[in-house]
Structure 1
Amino acid sequence: MLFKLWRWIFLFSTGLTILTLVACLPDIRSPSDESIKVPTPKASPITNAEESEQDAESLEAIKSPSPDIQQEADSPPTEGEGEGIETSPTTDMPIGEATDTIAIEYRVVFVEEDDVLNIRNGPGVEFDIVGEIRPGTRGVKITGEGQVEIDSLWVPVEYEEVSGWVNSRFLTELISREDFCNDEDVEKLVDAAFEALVNEDGDEFSQLVAEGRSLRFRRHWWNPEVIFNKDEVASLFESEESYSWGIADGSGDPIEGTFSEVILPLLERNLKAHSERGCDEILHGGTAGLVQLPTSYEGTNYYSFFRPAGPDEFELDWGTWVMGVEFWQGQPYLSYMVHYEWEI
C-alpha cells in the first residue's frame, strides 16, 4: 500500500514537471531570424537645398585634407608637370576684357632632355641660380614685366615655391590645336612669313620675330639648331657668316656654309613649290627615317609646307618645311623652321 502511494506521488510530480516545461517552452526556444532583424528607420525626404548643403560639405572635405594626408597633398608635382591654369570666377565682364585674376600658362620649350631651365635671382646669366625647371614643364607663371639683357628678354617667374628670373626664349604660351588652327592672326603670320621667304625680304621676315626672342633653323630635325636673334634675321639673306648645320644623312659629312648656301636652296625648292599645308601635322612622303618634331619643340604649334615628288621625279624626292609659331603676350610670332626630306 505504501509502495502504491509513492508511485502515484512520483507520477504526479513527473506530470507536473512536464506541464511546467511545456508552459515555459516559448521563453527558452532558440531565437528565430525575426528576433535578430533590426528595423531600418524611414528616411525623411531631402530637399534640393539640403542636397546642395551636403554636396558642399563633401566638397569642402575633399578640399581640406586631414592633417594625416596634408603632407602628401602639399608635395610638389611630378617631373614634367606643373600647376594648372588659374581661372577667375564667372562674371558679367565683357569677353576680351583683361583681368588680373586670369593667369596665362607657360610651358618650358627649346630645352634639351638632359638640360634644365635655370631660375636666377636676377635678369641675366651673371646672377646666381636659385632653382631649375625640367624640359616640357607646364604651369610656370610670369609675375611682372620683363627686362632685355643682351638681346634676350628676361622675365620674373614663379614655379612651385621658387621665385626668380628666366630667359623668356625658353617659355611659350600654351594654346590648343583647335584654337591655333582656327586663329586668323596665325594664318596671316604664316602667309606673311611665306611671302618674306619667297621674296628673300629679311627686314619683313625679322618683323615676324618677337622682340627679345629668337628664330631657330634646322637642316634636319635631328641635327643641331642654329639660332638667330631679331637683328640677325634681318640680314640672313645677305650674311656671309658660315654656320655648322650638322651632318649629312648617310655619309655623316659635316654641313657648313652660309644661310644662302645651305638653307636658301631648300626654301626655294620645297617651301616655294609646296602644294599642301598642314596645321599641327607634319605632311611628308615616304622615308626610312622618323618624321617628328625635335624633342625640345614638343608642345609647340606649327604649320607644315609639303612638296610631293613631281610626276617625273622619284617618289621619294619630296620635301617639307615646318614653320613653328609661338604666342607671346597674346600675339603669334615666328619661332622656328625645320626641314624634312627622305632619309636612309
Structure 2
Amino acid sequence: MKKIMIVGILMISMLFYGCDTQEDNTNDNTDQMNELEAQIEALEDQINILEEENETLQNQIEEREDQEDKEDQDDETLIQIALKTVNWIKEKEMDKIAEIAHPEEGITFSPYAYLDLDEDIVLESDELTEIFESEEVYTWGVFDGKGNPIEKTFGEYYERFIYDEDFANPHMIGNNVQISTGNTINNIEEAYPEGEFIEFHFEGFEEDYFGMDWRSLRLVFEEYEGEMYLRAIVHDEWTI
C-alpha cells in the first residue's frame, strides 16, 4: 500500500514539474522572440540610417562631378571647344552637336560667308540627332554664280557645304579672324555681335588655281547662361 502511495505521489510531482518546465520554456521562447524582434528592429534602424548616409554621399559625389565638369568647361578655351566640335562634325556625332546647340536659337547653317538670318536654315537640338537619316529636302540658299536654289537633304548639304574638306586638319586656324575672303561679304560680326568664331581654313589644293580653291569652315559660338554654345556653321569659299 505504501508503495502504491509513493508511486502516486511521484507521478503527481512529475506532472507538476512537467507543467512548470513547459511554462518556463514558453516564457523563455517568448523572451527570445522579443529579444530577436528588438534586434531586428535595431538592425532595420541601422540599415535606414546607412541608406540615408549613402544617398547623401551619392548626391555629394554627383554634385562634385557636376562642379568638376563645369570647371573643366570653364577652363576650356574657345579654340579647344571648337576643336572638339569640328571633330564631332567630322565623325557625324550629331548627338554631341545637339548637346552644344544654342538652347534658345538652335544652329544656323550658311553655305557662304554672308548670313541671311531671315532665310538661312536653322535646326534645333531635337532635330539634329537623327538629321542624317532624314530624307527631307531643304532649300539652303542659292548657288554662287548660278542663282539656282541649293535644294538638298542634310546629308547632301553636309558633303558639299559643311565637311567638303577635312576641316579637323586644316592648314590654318583663325581665332575671331577671317583668314581669306571672296566677293561675298562676311557679316558674322553684324549677325552675331555677341558671338565669337573659329575659322578652319585651307589655303588651296591645286597650283593651277593660285589659291582660289581655298575653303573655310567657321564655327560661331555665343555664351548662354555662362556656357558657350554653337550658334552657326558657316561654310565659305571663293565666290564670284
In which range does the TM-score fall when normalised by the shorter chain?
0.5 to 0.7
Which letter maps to 2:224? W
Using CA pairs under 8 Å that are at least 6 residues apart, name the structure with larger relative contact order, 1 or 2. Answer: 2
Q: How does 1:223-234 map to 2 (within 5 A)?
A: 223=116, 224-234=119-129
CA distance in 2, matches of 1:254, 1:332: 32
Identify the match of residue 82 of structure 2 among 190, 195, 198: 190
**1:249 matched to 2:144:** yes
Closer/same/farther in 2, CA of residues 272 and 186 from structure 1, 3 Å limit = closer
CA deviation map 1:285-331 (0-9, x unaligned): 5x344344273223421111111102545120011111001111111
> Using the alignment, how far apart are the partners of 1:299 and 1:212 within structure 2?
15
Change (3 A) 1:300 1:311: same
Deviations 1:244-283 (A, max 9, x none): 1111111111111111112333333332452211111111
Residue 214 (str. 1) matches residue 110 (str. 2) = no
Q: Deviations over 1:31-50 (max 9, x none)?
A: xxxxxxxxxxxxxxxxxxxx
The residue identity in structure 2 corresponding to 1:297 is Y
In the other structure, the counterpart of 2:200 is: 305
Q: How does 1:132-211 map to 2 (within 5 A)?
A: 184-211=76-103
Asked if 1:339 corresponds to 2:232, the answer is no
RMSD: 2.3
Q: Give the structure with the higher percent strand.
A: 1
The answer to whether the 8 Å contact 1:215/1:233 transfers is no
Contact 1:213 1:230 in 2 (8 A): no
| SS of structure 1 residue aligned to 2:185 | coil
Structure 1 length normalisation: TM-score?
0.43
Structure 1 289/324 Cα, relative in aligned 2: closer, same or farther at 3 Å?
closer
2:219 equivalent in structure 1: 323
Out of 253, 259, 275, the position equivalent to 2:154 is: 259
Partner Cα separation in structure 2 for residue 213 and residue 254 of structure 1:
24
Q: SS at the partner of 1:194?
A: helix
The structure with the greater share of residues assigned to helix is 2
2:223, 2:229 → 1: CA distance? 6
**CA distance 1:247–1:185, shift in 2 (3 Å):** same
Distance 2:208 2:108 in 1: 30
Conservation of the 8 A alpha-carbon contact between 1:282 and 1:292: no
In structure 2, what is the Cα distance between the partners aligned to 1:266 and 1:203?
20
Provide the rounded CA distance (Å) in 2 between the counterparts of 1:225 and 1:183: 33
Give the AA of the match of 2:163: E
Report deviation, 1:220: 1.7
Instruction: Choose the corresponding residue for 1:295, options 179, 187, 190.
Output: 190
TM-score (norm 2): 0.61
- Partner SS, residue 200 of structure 1: coil
Where does structure 1 differ by over 6 angstroms across 4 or more consecutive aligned residues? none
Q: Could you tell me whether the CA contact under 8 Å between 2:162 and 2:233 is conserved in 1? A: no
CA spacing shift, 1:308–1:328, aligned 2, 3 Å: same
In structure 2, list runs of 5 or more residues that go unmatched: 1-73
2:100 alignment partner, SS class = coil
Summarize the Cα distance change of 1:267–1:289 in structure 2 as closer, same or farther, 3 Å threshold: closer
Q: 1:325–1:332: 8 Å Cα contact kept in structure 2?
A: yes
Identity of paired residues, percent?
Answer: 23
Letter in 1 for 2:130: S
Partners of 2:83 and 2:168 within 8 A in 1: no
Q: 1:252 to 1:265 in 2, by over 3 A?
A: closer
Q: CA deviation at 1:234?
A: 1.4
Cα distance in structure 2, aligned partners of 1:302 and 1:183: 18
What amino acid sits opposite 1:231 in the alignment? Answer: D
Q: Residues of 2 paired with 1:301 and 1:189: CA distance?
A: 12
Aligned length: 162
For residues 221 and 294 of structure 1, the distance between their equivalents in structure 2, rounded to whole angstroms, comes to 11
